[in-house]
Amino acid sequence: MSFTTSTTTAQSTSDRAVRPVQTAPSTEARGLAATVATPLGDLVLVADDGALVEIRLPGPGQPMPRTPLPPRPFLPPLDRPTRNASGAQRTPMPPLDTPARRASGVAPAASGAGETGQTGGPADAGPRARADAAVLAAAERQLEEYFGGRRQAFDLPLRLRGTRFQRDVWEALLQVGYGATTSYSTIAERIGRPGAQRAVGAAVGSNPLAVIVPCHRIVGADGGLTGYGGGLPRKRYLLDLEKADRPQPA
């Protein structure tokens, strides 16, 4: 599987407040963008201030590359889900954009998003640009592992930009484990807004971090596929990739 990355300066039009775990002031995002070739097509990754802020899918009208699913290697089981006070299952949610994670940073990869080889690129830029380049390099590597069937969970600093309701929905999506699916009504109940399925659906449709915030794991109440920003074939590919009953390698 070939993963190619190009890195450019990016500027997001979003100026909404950020509250994945901590409240952050409303600022205009400026960072780096990288284009990564994947089985879904080219994904555009955007990092800002040492955190991943956006993953853009190809449009539903753009065809997917003809990439077969990889053989499923042996992976140790994920942690067993815990139960919240109401008895509902939940899987541990990775920390989002905590000061400790941002201070520790991510080691740059040997090649990829962190090394553009161009004057004025991340290699000659300040610490903020280098931190963004390191996040993009780590995201590229982890996406390659995920699409290769060698990774079930992502370990990246994330910053979710949206309304408080949207962020609640996106954080609930992060609790839907690899290979599992859930429904809009279940997410609505999980965030304490039973009956808000339509609003949840709108928030899911606005998810800024496709694949990593796994909105593809949301299905209809009858188990059927529902809408997906990149088109239903991409959603089906991701769900098939995560199926536990795929053949093991010899």
**Across the strands, what pairs with 34?**
7, 45
Which element (helix H / strand E) includes 5? strand 5-11
**129 — phi, psi (to 5°)?**
-65, -35
Please tell me the distance from the alpha carbon of residue 20 to that of residue 74, in angstroms, as a whole number.
32
Which element (helix H / strand E) includes 198? helix 197-205
Domains in the chain: ranges and CATH: 1-19+28-59+95-161 (no CATH), 163-250 (1.10.10.10)
Please tell me the distance from the alpha carbon of residue 110 to that of residue 142, in angstroms, as a whole number.
14
Please tell me the distance from the alpha carbon of residue 208 to that of residue 190, in angstroms, as a whole number.
20
- Can you give the pTM of this predicted structure? 0.70
Over its length of 250 residues, how does the chain's per-residue pLDDT go in tens digits? Answer: 444 444 444 543 333 333 333 223 334 446 899 999 999 999 999 999 999 999 999 998 899 988 788 876 555 555 444 333 333 333 343 444 433 334 334 333 333 333 333 334 555 568 888 999 999 999 999 999 999 999 999 999 999 999 999 999 999 999 999 999 999 999 999 999 999 999 999 999 999 999 999 999 999 888 888 889 899 999 999 999 998 655 554 4
From the candidates 174, 176, 215, 241, which is the catalytic residue?
Answer: 215
Residue 201 token pair: 């659906």
Find the length of the chain.
Answer: 250
215 labelled catalytic: yes
